[in-house]
Amino acid sequence: MKKNSKEGLERKPSSWYSVIDDTKQQRRKLKGPDVDNQNKSKSSEAWSVISNYIRMNSMNNTMEWLEGTLSRRRSETRVYKYNTRLLEAITDGDTAYMNRMLTMGANVNATCRLNQVSACHIAATINNDALSLLINAGAISLRSDKFGRTPLHIAAWAGHVRHIASLLDFSEALQDKVASKMTPEVLQEIRTSRLTVPEILNRPCELNTLSTVPDAWSDGMEHNCRSVKESLPLFQPGWTALHAASARAQYKCVQLLLAAGADPMKTDLLSRTPIDVVGYDHYSKHKIDPADFKETVRILREAGGKFQNSTTGKVNTPLHTAVDLDSVDAVEEVLDAGATATLWNSHGLTAMHDCVKNRNKDILQLIANYEFGNEDPQVAVVDERDRWGYTVLSAAIKAGWTQGVCVALGAGASVTMKDNKGESPLHLAASQGNLDILQEVLIVSKFNSSLDFLNDKGETALFVAIRHNQIDVVRMLLSAGARIQEETVDRVNVLHVAAEHGHYEILEHLLEYDDHITNEMINEPDVFSYTPLVHAVVNDHPKCVDLLISKGANVRVEVHNVSGINVTTPLHLAASKNHFEISEIIINSDKDTIHAVNSSGLMPLHEACCHGNRNVISLLLHRGADLSGHTGKTKLLPIDVLMNNLSKPTQFIEEIFDTCISSQGRNIQESNCKVKVDYRVLVPDESDWKQMRVIKGLVNTGNRHDQSRLLLHPLVQSFLYLKWKSLLPFFYTILAMHTCFVLALNVYVVSIFFYKDKKREVPGYFLPGIWECILYVTIFLIAIQEIVFIKIKKRRYLLLPETWMKIWAVALALVLPQTVNWKINNGEDWARLIATISLLLSWFEMMFLLSRFPDWGFYVLMFGKVANKVFKILLSFGFLLFGFAICFMIQFRAKVPFEGPWASFVKTMVMMTTEYDYQATINNTATDNADTSSGEFLSLTIFRIIFLTFLILVSIVLMNLIAGVAVNNVNHLEMIGTIKRLEKQVEFITSLEDIVCHKVMKKVLPKKLYRKLSMNQKLKNVIYLMPRESTCSYCKYLPPRIREAIFETAQRQQMEMDEELGSMAFKMKLDQIHNIIVGSEEDESRRADLSESAVTKINEEVDKIRSEVAFIRNFLVVNQPRRRTMSSD
């Protein structure tokens, strides 16, 4: 409307254009060829006169044009309003108001501005006299709108035969006959009355056929154009009125149009004739009567209409529509008209697939057995595929429709045609698990010898049934003769598939099918070296693993990776994937697999620790895995891997240690209670009998995760204590040797220096020569001991401070007798110095040896810890002490006891212990400064100030700081001392064990003695403590603190177990209540369904028998020529 009004404003009156034409002619005269170029001034004067004339005329004409435009717009607005009212009256079916609008000036060709829909278009949709009134009033009834629709298209689509007759300009009498009843006589009259076929009758719909609409035809802005747009249908490009009538099965309109001369073979842009689009509006939710549909097809067929079966693309054909209408007669009529059953609809399905989808047995049987004259005789009609490649048989199998399967097989459907996924109907039947359908398919497969037909994956139907866990199908296939030995391209057999998917019942059935065959197949690897057992392990199917192992599967099979370089075992795979149950099953079948090593030198415990699988780690440790185990290819210990890969590893190991102590379901207070202490986590099962490896490895991991506190666990402490008891004779031997050495050294030094200094005669039992010999013997024995320790422990032993202390003590004692006999100056002083150092070092070593005892070592290590802190504090404040020492030396004028820096420093350190000797020191200072009274006063004042400062800063502050820091937390200090004692104990016991179990000792000592020593030092893996029996030997051996800690741990474990059992019992009760409630509801629903299912099953059995009879009949017909040929031969 805006566009039209704008054009009206721009339109000029005719006088305006006449002035412009006169001006152009005068301009041409001025520029004619007769004008001389030299008269330019005259030309310019003439042009100015003409311009003024044009300007004056233009102004006058513009005023006239504006006045005319305003008056015209007022009249046009009134016309637009009337046109709108006219269109609305037609839409409402109000013919009286429509006549009134026409009388008042509304245009009979009023047009909706949106899609150029005229009044005739709207009137054609309504079954009243509106269209006749418009045509009689002079309306143009042959106009097309924006989408190429004419009123004839719309009248045919709406089924208004009188409107069609009116649009075709029939006489009033003929229109009345058409409207009353369409008899053959009326149709014949229509045929005879036409002279020529109207052009409008076969005019196709063409998009964007816009034409200029006069302003007088337009509607107003207030017209609801959208409602008009939504009320009219959209036709396919190229459709004629006959197409529109056929789409809705308006058979009366079809008859009328054909009688009027419509072309039944006129095609649209998709090359479809009217018969190709019969019932097309069924897919636009329009309800079509099957009888009307059949009649429409019949009329078009008799008029010469033919199906364009070469149509490409996915379109809904009349055959699909007839199938959807569930009309056998309609389908038969369409087939008789020449329709093909191979075309796809918009969903990619043929008409037969639609039958399967809708479960139309009769229609499917009709189409499948229809005699198509133009089809390939080598391919059955039912073997046509849909967009997914499914044949009718495959589609029926997927839908689980037994009757459809029987119909397809009876029509000669192939059981070996593959879909787009490479699956045949036989494979689909095996995957679906419908035994009735499978039975039908197997009958044909046996005839065709296609029971072991392969899909694109190289699998038979047996493989597919196994993969989909169809145990009944597997039994049926095997009983029908399917080969169990078949393999795919990747050398995968049926046992691989069953184990991979964890189908226990199928795997059991296959293993029991034929023992001779399955024994050969059970350990067969595929192309990736995976046996059925490995597949079950990798995919976590414990029941299948247990079954395969019981049937003879090899648990030590070598599994290669893709490159074939790395080799591992099933237990390694289970440990890496945290498959707890599978790991337990494999270990139960072969315990030695715990120590199996893969190509990388890793054991299953390494794999479990690398992946942080706590459950499997706990299982392996309780079954004898070695936390300190390593092989020649790798020196990496599992305990190191565990500490580096697990979160909170110390807490995890502590929980494992807790589980090793149990009261076996009894309370500690019971009289017959036995507390089991299992040391198998700590004691590896090795042939060399070394039992300290795990604890030593634990100590060597450091203390980054506070793992040193694990030594305080009752399990570890009791083990160390018992191990210490077993090695106590060896320790006593070492202690006796060192005691003899210390005794000989002390007696020798006393015999040399004491009696000499006292100038007494040496007694006979203190003769230096005798004790010198004894000293050399003990030095020789200790030297042998140290050589053995260094040989076994090597570098680690040389890094210990105690080792060097012992070496220096022995070395100085060795050279002491030689220095005593020196004849040089100060030789005696050197001898005394060597003797003094050697004596101190030997007694220090004696102290360290005594610290090995569990009850004494604690105090020695606490002493060392306190001494370490004190030394650190003294080093921090050493500069302060040295400053006071220099001040005292200067103040006392370098006299005793401050005669030098060193003497002054020593005296200052002594003063720290509150040994001040204050009065004597003041008197000495006063005597030294007695020259003048003023000097005495000044010197005493300065000394008192310095002394007071020393007293406050050193004696009070520093000494209290040392005492407070050294023993600030006694409990913590006690714990640290205990840990250090245990670490030293572990180190010493490990050294003794290494010596006893070393191969040198085995070679040197007699076999019986060596075996006795080894057996004495080896502990039992499991011990039992009886809290209420005084005869328990282990209760006597263990100290009370360790024994009580074990009982407390056992009691805590029992309480946790009781709580867990209580929660499990409560959960089981809830499950039972739930099952009872749900089970009662299921029983009621099952009873209601029994009656319905029984009737359905009987009907299916009857249909099955009928289809089998049809199949046999068809088979006999097909093979009859062959039998005749054979008989003639």
Q: What is the DSSP string of 857-918?
A: HHHHHHHHHHHHHHHHHHHHSHHHHHHHHHHHHHHTTT-TTSSSHHHHHHHHHHHTTT---H
Kindly indicate the confidence band of residue 377, based on its pLDDT and cuts at 50, 70 and 90. Answer: low
pLDDT of 733 > 60? The answer is yes
Q: How many CB atoms lie within 10 A of CB 1104?
A: 18
Joined tokens for residue 844: 């220090």
User: Of 679 and 826, which is predicted with more confidence?
Assistant: 679
User: Of 533 and 860, which is predicted with more confidence?
Assistant: 533
- In contact, 520 and 486? CB cutoff 8 Å: no
Quote the pLDDT of residue 114: 83
pLDDT of 538 > 90? The answer is yes
Quote the pLDDT of residue 910: 74
pLDDT mean over 399-427? 92
- In contact, 576 and 609? CB cutoff 8 Å: no
Using a pLDDT cut of 70, give the percent of the chain over it. Answer: 78
Quote the pLDDT of residue 282: 92
- In contact, 82 and 66? CB cutoff 8 Å: no
Range name among 255-269, 446-460, 740-754, 1061-1075 with the lowest pLDDT average: 1061-1075
- Residues 6 or more apart whose Cβ sits within 8 Å of residue 195: none
Kindly indicate the confidence band of residue 13, based on its pLDDT and cuts at 50, 70 and 90. Answer: very low
- In contact, 952 and 944? CB cutoff 8 Å: no
Q: What end-to-end distance do the CA atoms of the chain give, in Å? A: 90
Kindly indicate the confidence band of residue 626, based on its pLDDT and cuts at 50, 70 and 90. Answer: confident
C-alpha distances out from residue 503 to 429, 454, 465, Å: 19, 22, 11
pLDDT mean over 10-20? 38
365: nearest Cα among 392, 400, 340: 392
Kindly indicate the confidence band of residue 615, based on its pLDDT and cuts at 50, 70 and 90. Answer: very high
pLDDT of 33 > 90? The answer is no
pLDDT of 15 > 50? The answer is no
Quote the pLDDT of residue 311: 54
Range name among 15-24, 182-191, 347-356, 986-995 with the lowest pLDDT average: 15-24
Kindly indicate the confidence band of residue 378, based on its pLDDT and cuts at 50, 70 and 90. Answer: low
Orientation of helix 251-260 relative to helix 151-158, angle to 10° = 140
Residue 118 pairs in a beta bridge with 111
Range name among 264-278, 676-690, 745-759, 916-930 with the lowest pLDDT average: 916-930
Give the long-range contacts of residues 943-950, CB within 8 A, separation 24 or more.
943/891, 946/884, 946/887, 946/888, 946/891, 947/916, 947/918, 950/884, 950/908, 950/911
- In contact, 407 and 368? CB cutoff 8 Å: yes
Quote the pLDDT of residue 966: 60
Residue type, 377: P
Tokens 């580096």 label which residue? 644
What rounded mean pLDDT belongs to the chain? Answer: 80
pLDDT digits (tens, 9 = 90+) for 1035-1050: 777 888 888 888 888 8
Joined tokens for residue 386: 């849909």
pLDDT of 1025 > 70? The answer is yes
Domain 238-372 in CATH 1.20.140.10: no
pLDDT mean over 69-87? 71
pLDDT mean over 176-193? 86
pLDDT of 1116 > 60? The answer is no
Range name among 325-339, 360-374, 510-524, 894-908 with the lowest pLDDT average: 894-908
Whole-number Å distance between alpha carbons of 1129 and 1127: 5
pLDDT mean over 1055-1079? 78
Orientation of helix 351-358 relative to helix 392-399, angle to 10° = 20
Range name among 271-275, 501-505, 668-672, 1086-1090 with the lowest pLDDT average: 1086-1090
Quote the pLDDT of residue 366: 92
Range name among 8-17, 240-249, 733-742, 1095-1104 with the lowest pLDDT average: 8-17
- In contact, 354 and 323? CB cutoff 8 Å: yes
Quote the pLDDT of residue 564: 58
Quote the pLDDT of residue 266: 92
pLDDT mean over 388-414? 93
pLDDT of 812 > 70? The answer is yes
DSSP conformation letters of 755-793: HHHHT-PPPGGG-HHHHHHHHHHHHHHHHHHHHHHHHHH
pLDDT of 80 > 90? The answer is no
pLDDT mean over 563-569? 76
Helices (H) and strands (E) in the chain, counts: 54, 7
Quote the pLDDT of residue 53: 47
Q: Burial of 1120 by CB count in 10 Å (0-12 exposed, 13-18 middle, 19+ buried)?
A: exposed
User: Of 124 and 965, which is predicted with more confidence?
Assistant: 124
Whole-number Å distance between alpha carbons of 259 and 244: 16
Quote the pLDDT of residue 1009: 63
Kindly indicate the confidence band of residue 882, based on its pLDDT and cuts at 50, 70 and 90. Answer: confident
Q: How many CB atoms lie within 10 A of CB 59?
A: 9
- Residues 6 or more apart whose Cβ sits within 8 Å of residue 420: 388, 389
Backbone angles phi, psi at 1065, to 5 degrees: -65, -40
Quote the pLDDT of residue 1094: 63
Quote the pLDDT of residue 637: 87
pLDDT of 1063 > 60? The answer is yes
User: Of 15 and 129, which is predicted with more confidence?
Assistant: 129
One fold for 238-372 and 388-483: yes
3-state SS class at 676? strand
Whole-number Å distance between alpha carbons of 525 and 849: 61
Orientation of helix 494-501 relative to helix 504-513, angle to 10° = 160
Domain boundaries, the chain: 2-79, 238-372, 388-483, 870-968
> What CATH number does the domain located at 388-483 have?
1.25.40.20
pLDDT of 1015 > 70? The answer is no
